[in-house]
Structure 1
Amino acid sequence: MSFSDLGVAKWLCEALNSMKIYTPTAIQKACIPKVLKGHDCIGGAKTGSGKTIAFASPILTKWSEDPYGIYGLVLTPTRELALQIAEQFAALGATMNIKVCVIVGGDDIVKQALELQRRPHIVIATPGRLADHILNSGEDTICGLRRVKYLVLDEADRLLSNSFGSDLERCFGVLPKPENRQTLLFTATITDAVRSLKEKPVPEGKLPVFVNEVDTVENIAIPSTLSIKYLFVPSYVKEAYLHNLLTLPEYEKTTTIIFVNRTHTAELLRRMLRKLDFRVASLHSEMPQSERVNSLHRFKANAARILIATDVASRGLDIPDVNLVVNYDIPADPDDFIHRVGRTARAGRKGDSISIVAEKDVNRILAIEERINKKMEKMEDVTDNKVIKKSLKETSVAKREAMMDMDKDGFGEKRRTNKMKRQDASKKPNKKRKTES
């Protein structure tokens, strides 16, 4: 079966062929024809299964028949995912001069407002920054959103969590009503919140919601090529055990992602490991956008061997082969663990996952083991004696210096200021939408 057989426009089939994409994946075969027929869609498939093309190709096919204003809006939880999706839309629509606009935090908000006023064909945005424009940038900026034909929620399970609730509500408030647009949800984890959308009443004249699940997190096992181990350590010396792990002969040259739960931890480890002469980059929400892009590029180019990241890097990103994933902090949600370790042992290759477990993490580990139906093995190569002898003193010094540097640089001040601004903004009454007399 070809993309042409699915109903994709001829010009777009040629663009896909030029990108060496010839055969549709399972999620693409299932969803593209349904979207082209006008169905709302919930598509579930694992990372790397072609979800972006599953929603981009029908949108671009329909757009090319009637290219007006802001035709499609894609909402996604992270800046990196937004940029990656934008690159794919731009590449697919290059021969048709498609205009793609990215609206994410960290970039010039005035420049973004001007781009929105020029009515790009496709807007890819994070909910927080788009909500800022809706609240502050005026009707001239956002009026193009009122005629959107397609709304896509990428990584929908994350977007429909409580953390994005108020921003999503503000974004939805300026879009056409559900019966006047198509809504497409794509995710690697179809949660109850996502699945419940199918149960909503279908407006008169609207086709029923199409749901397709292909190898979602719910029904995939951890690959047999992935080794899953743990280190049980005292919480106050986690850095020393991490250092000892990274200097083991089998890992001293590997590409590694270290996942943490907080931006402060990511920045502390980046500074500390850099002082210990590791080639390291980081990725978290308190970095300027240019630095986030540079970090990702450095890691992809192997200029940095280690990437320290919050969960902004756990999903969807096109990250190169990774040999080792370290859970420095244990995630509260077992599905986040699956997404994290899914960065390695891809396409049949081998990979290692090591979780650094402190006293308070035991219940989380038990929940993860139940979720993946597999027991973690204890790692024997890092011992208390080795840590005391080789790592404890130098990591203590490096950590202390890193913390002093962070205090000196005022790390976290911008985040606290922005949080206060957003709290003040949320207390303002919503501006009433102007109507023509």
Structure 2
Amino acid sequence: MNFKDLGISEPLVQVLKKSGITTPTSIQEECIPLIKDYKDVIAQAQTGTGKTLAFLLPLFENISPDVCATQALIITPTRELALQITEEANQLAKGKAINVLAAYGGRNIGSQLNKLKGTIHLIIATPGRLIDHIERGTIDLNKVKTVVIDEADQMLLMGFRNEVDQILRATPRNRQTLCFSATMAPNVKKLAYHYTYSPTMVTIEPKKVTIDTIRQEVIETTDRWKADTLCQVLEEDNPFLAIIFARTKRRADELFAKMKKRGFNVQVIHSDIAQNKRERILKSFRDADLQYLIATDVASRGLDISGVTHIYNYDVPETPEIYIHRIGRTGRAGEDGYTCMFVAPKDNLEFNMIERKLRRNLPKRQLKEELRKTK
């Protein structure tokens, strides 16, 4: 099966080929024909399965460049995810003359307003900024044929239900609606069915390879010694590119200050960091000018950076699903990855839940003796 078999036109196939993408993933195989045929779809798939192209490619096929109206809308919960989807859409736009607008908070609305003076075929937006444009009358969704609700589980978690309702009321009732979610808890499924009409359910089981190609270890420590222990591990590992997960913005900032003081090549992203600065940081990390990126879960949602060799769970995640989501940032495309989790006595409940979910005991890592002596 190739992209031509799925009905993707030659110019888009060539764009994919230049990016090294020649074979569709499972979710792309299942979703592209359905979406091209204007069917409503509810899809469950983890990050890293190629779900963004699963909806972008058929959207690009269905959009008519010569129609001067917004024909497709993608709603996503975070600015980082909106930016990432926009980057992929702009790549595809090289193969088809489609104008794309990213509308999200944290950026000057003036530049978005200027771009809106021309024809915009596809809008990728966070709920708050999109509603701002709707209320200003600067965005008209009356001709929208397809709406994508991306990361529906996070939309609910972050309390965007009312905003999504308001946005959809501004679109035609006979639109095509696509819901994509990493998890499909009952409340997420109920929301998805509420927004769609006679949808086709597509479920892509998380690839076991994501876990199987990742070496996972645990270090038992205390909160007091956690930062010191992490820094010793980083000196021992000297990873090519590493993401370090902290549970809160405050914890991320505190760790950033400690690592910076010790001379590590590190930056931090969370929702309080200005958007233009976050974009600069992410570009530096993608270009491997940065070695370490400290992130909170919300800020990291949708990050898909190739070359990440190590993931460090500085704080134990609240749920096994978050743990799997975090470590899935490494070991991509069959490459080996490494993750290390720092567990304090207060983390035992969450840690035990993770081991039960994995159905295995994670091996304990011991620090090298000479490093322990320097503590």
- Per the TM superposition, whether the score is higher than 0.5 is yes
Aligned to 1:63: 63
Which residue type is aligned with residue 307 of structure 1? L
Determine the structure 2 residue equivalent to 1:233: 221
Partner of 1:101: 101
The verdict on how the C-alpha distance between 1:172 and 1:5 changes in structure 2, with shifts beyond 3 A counting, is same
Relative contact order, higher structure (CA 8 A, sep 6+): 2
CA distance in 1: counterparts of 2:67 and 2:56, whole angstroms: 14
**Offset at residue 181 of structure 1 (A):** 0.8
For 1:154, give the aligned amino acid: D
Counterparts of residues 137-148 of structure 1 (less than 5 Å): 138-139=136-137, 141-142=138-139, 144-148=140-144
Which residue matches 1:36? 36
Aligned counterpart in structure 2 of residue 283 of structure 1, from 252, 260, 269: 269
Q: 1:169 aligns with which of 157, 165, 168?
A: 165
- Determine the C-alpha separation between the residues in 1 that align with 2:195 and 2:168: 18
Deviation at 1:146, TM superposition (A): 3.2
Give yes or no for contact 1:257–1:326 (8 Å, CA) kept in 2: yes
Q: Is the 8 A contact 2:65 2:97 kept in 1?
A: no
Contact kept in structure 1, 2:242 and 2:308, CA below 8 Å: yes
Closer, same or farther in 2 for the Cα pair 1:254/1:15, shift >3 Å? Answer: closer
The SS at the match of 2:276 is: helix
Matches within 5 A, 1:387-406: 389-391=373-375
- Show the counterpart of 1:74: 74
1:129 and 2:129 correspond: yes
Q: Amino acid of the residue matched to residue 186 of structure 1?
A: F
Q: Distance between the aligned counterparts of 2:232 and 2:269, measured in 1? A: 22
Determine the C-alpha separation between the residues in 2 that align with 1:23 and 1:246.
Answer: 36
Equivalent-residue separation in structure 1 for 2:194 and 2:287 (angstroms): 46
**1:130 positional shift:** 2.1
Give SS of 1:43's match: strand
**How has the CA–CA distance of structure 1 residues 11 and 74 changed in structure 2, closer, same or farther, with 3 Å as cutoff?**
same
Matches within 5 A, 1:79-98: 79-98=79-98
How big is the shift at 1:221? Answer: 6.9
Q: 1:127: Cα distance to partner?
A: 1.9
**Counterpart AA for 1:234:** T
Q: Secondary structure at the match of 1:278?
A: coil
Q: 1:274 aligns with which of 249, 260, 272?
A: 260
Contact residue 60 and residue 96 of structure 2 kept, 8 A:
no
1:287-327 C-alpha deviation (Å, 9 max, x unpaired): 11221111112112222111111114644323122222111
Q: What is the aligned residue count?
A: 375
Residues 322 and 64 of structure 1, relative CA distance in 2, 3 Å threshold: same
- 1:243-282 equivalences in 2 (<5 Å): 243-248=231-236, 251-282=237-268
* CA RMSD after TM alignment: 2.6
State the 1:386 CA deviation. 5.0
Counterpart among 145, 151, 157 of residue 153 in structure 2: 157
How far apart in 2 are the matches of 1:71 and 1:372? Answer: 43
Q: Secondary structure at the match of 1:89?
A: helix
Q: Which has the larger radius of gyration?
A: 1
The CA deviation string for residues 305-358 of structure 1, in whole angstroms up to 9 with x for no partner, is 111111146443231222221111122122111010111222332222111122
In 2, the alpha carbon distance for the partners of 1:356 and 1:171 equals 42
Shift of 1:102: 0.8
What secondary structure, in the 3-state scheme, does the structure 1 residue paired with 2:312 have? strand
* Inter-partner Cα distance in structure 2 for 1:201 and 1:327: 36
Matched position secondary structure for 1:189: coil
Which amino acid is 1:246 matched to? L
Any unmatched runs of 5+ in structure 1?
392-437
TM-score, with length taken from structure 1? 0.78
Corresponding position of 2:312: 326
Report matched runs for 1:356-371 at 5 Å: 356-371=342-357
| 345 and 91 in structure 1: CA distance in 2 versus 1, 3 angstrom threshold | closer
CA distance in 2, matches of 1:183, 1:225: 35
CA distance in 2, matches of 1:72, 1:349: 35
Residues 241, 382 of structure 1: 8 Å contact kept: no
Q: Which runs of 5+ in 2 are unaligned?
A: none
Equivalent position of 1:213 in the other structure: 203
Deviation at 1:38, TM superposition (A): 1.8
1:401 is matched with none
Q: Return the structure number with greater helix share.
A: 1
User: In structure 1, how many angstroms separate the alpha carbons of the residues matched to 2:50 and 2:155?
Assistant: 19
Q: CA deviation at 1:5?
A: 2.7
Cα pair 1:314 1:339 within 8 Å, conserved? no
> Does the aligned pair in 1 maintain the 2:209–2:334 contact within 8 Å?
no
Match of 2:186 among 183, 186, 192: 192
The residue identity in structure 1 corresponding to 2:180 is F
Of stretches 167-176 and 52-61 in structure 1, the one that deviates more from structure 2 is 167-176
Q: 1:199 to 1:328 in 2, by over 3 A?
A: same
How much has 1:279 moved relative to structure 2? 0.7
CA drift of 1:215 comes to 2.8
CA separation in 2, counterparts of 1:259 and 1:291?
19
What per-residue deviation string (whole Å, max 9, x for no partner) do you get for residues 217-259 of structure 1? xx747622322222222223322222222222xx124422100
Name which of 309, 313, 316 aligns with 2:295. Answer: 309
